[in-house]
Structure 1
Amino acid sequence: MSLLALTACDGSRSATPPGVTKFTTIDFEHVADYSAKDLPPYFDDTVTSLDHSPAASAIDNRVATLGRVLFYDLRLSTNDRASCAACHQQALGFTDSMRFSNGISTAATTDFHAMRLGNLRYWKPGTTFWDRRAASVEAQASHPFHSLVELGWGGAAGGFDALIAKMRATAYYPELFAWAFGSATITEPRIQQALAVFVRAMVAHSSRWDAGYARVFSSTAPDRALDRDLANFTPQENRGRQLFMTSTGKGGAGCSACHLPPTFALAADARSNGLDAGETRLFKAPSLRNAGLTGPYMHDGRFATLAEVVDFYDHGIQEGPALDARLRQGGRPQRLRLGDADRAALVAFVMTLNDSVLITDPRFSDPFRR
């Protein structure tokens, strides 16, 4: 059946082509809604002001649906073995339980630990990767394809020209691109846009913390009521919440100065966290949403557990030119010296940020018929 036969007079696609149906569960007549609607009231202008989404990549349900297919498709690797989802697994908060991920071969691994993707859109600078080397989510989307370790299209493999030739030969990509963009032309910018739209749609806002905070939130309350105990929390979780939200000058751990509620994404002006002495690189970190689902943690996965992460921020931060000023006390790296109970309370609080909705949402699940 031709593309023309499936195109209505207004240019819209009227039925799902057989090739799309054979390989995927995508239904052209019942398209998932990827817009960020029905968000809690505290996802207000204080949050949207941090959104780095370019106007050209506004949420479009068809483009996001194409992005979902691209994200999960093993055929987009040179040997049909790897995909974006292989390293960014939905059930784990779109990260990997391995310290470094495999791509097209188990003989090689990535250089950095796979980042969680929830609330990625709320990092105002818009740069991506731990070391901020990509200027945008769109630019980042190309890197795994060019990597000889991840999807394998670098060097002699032929790059995007070879990838696109492989995609054109499938029964579903020409149809999907025509449906999403109005023509069957497959290009690197279109691939970038579709993946970026899909990933930016991953907004986490349905944790136990959200359920409790929604009951006390007030935009006019001091500190937006972040200092209030939550009725659905245990005493330990509320102690952890208090430490997280309270500055070090007032007896807290000051975590929220860098990991901004309600998205728990990193502050735009954050620098490095002192993992190594003498560090000159500026790092970024993912949102803490779903951080409790699995380790390891940090750009190199050096910490296996959240308890180790808390221990580091308590007494392990190292001096260096790139160290964030919020991690200093008296001109030196901070030493909180929290007791065992308070460190355990911080871990308990971070666990309340796990979002069971995002990790089970069918809109972000594998669309392929395996």
Structure 2
Amino acid sequence: METDKVRRGPQVKMFGDEKCQICKRKADGYHYNVLSCQGCKGFFRRTVLSKLEYVCKNGLDKCDLAVVDHPRQRCQKCRLRRCEEAGMRDQYVRRKKNRTRTQRILENMRRPTVIVNPLVKEQHKLMAEVLNCFDKITDIESQKQVLAPLYLAIQKSSSAAQQEKLKMESFFQLIVNLIVSFAKNLSPFKVFSFDDQVKILSSSLIEIFVLQSITKYDPLTKCVTTFDGSVINQARLSGLSTQEFGKSVFETFARIKKTASSTHLLALLTALTLFSPDRNYSKELDAKVDNVQQHYIDLLRQFIARNHPLEKKLLPRLLMLLTYLRQFSDHSMIQHKATMKPFEHIAPMMIGHILKTPNVPFPLSTTVIGRDMPESSYN
């Protein structure tokens, strides 16, 4: 008696406006039990047949697959996860049909950059941690919650001549608070003593101050947008200091923005800057800082291998930015002493005050002038 053959049901009628359940592009039918496009069907089949493993391009496992210019830019780890969540199963993929030809095609299509060594658990933690902390110090809405009422009070109680100066001082105090909170929430920073934490933050403050500003810098208009919609350009900054200083700052903005174009790269650069050795530390502290920085360099190297595989010189360029930032900081302290006075005299006292205050909520208060920081310091 002949065994009954399994029959397929009728082809589902398509109306032409169906969307792929994985990437939201136009679907052309049901593949492996899921309404999907040919691209996602082929991706799932290649993954199953070649037993590929991926790592998330952002390290967060929640990438948006629809917001890309080209399918090859999609995060492969998140795309595979969406395939499985939608209902695709590896047992639906036939492995023996035209096996020789399929394997030959797969080998020809395989790119050497598809698979990289996955991040280990500790690296996943470092990446998520540094991104979360960097988002907080660059979030305009959080700055608005603190500065908006303060700016309003300044406008009511101050003369027009003093308003600009008071606003910039308030902004400076807030950013110092945020930079300290950035460091305090990084696990490697917590292992240092209080005195070492003050030294590390005081030494790297100017450079981190610049890096957090890059997220608001527009290279087309050459302006930094503030929380209230106003802009700081070279002319406005020069009016508060000198023309040479304003030019130097915005040249630095442009150079960094050109190389570190994404938030992820800026966040990792900020961590590398915080934990930079060779800052006149003691030999013991210098070795501890250098050891921590190496972990972030390894993380940056793997992030670039996964997300910027064709930019072979990106890592050395980013590391060169650390040297450039250091030179900018040192030059500014020497050539523009009046402008950099808050960084030299006020900032270390503020940093110590904030570090001594446990469990400071975010957004942080800007009223940190106390007995340790006499108000005359601002004159």
TM (norm. structure 2) is 0.28
Structure with greater contact order relative to length (CA < 8 Å, sep ≥ 6)? 1
TM (norm. structure 1) is 0.29
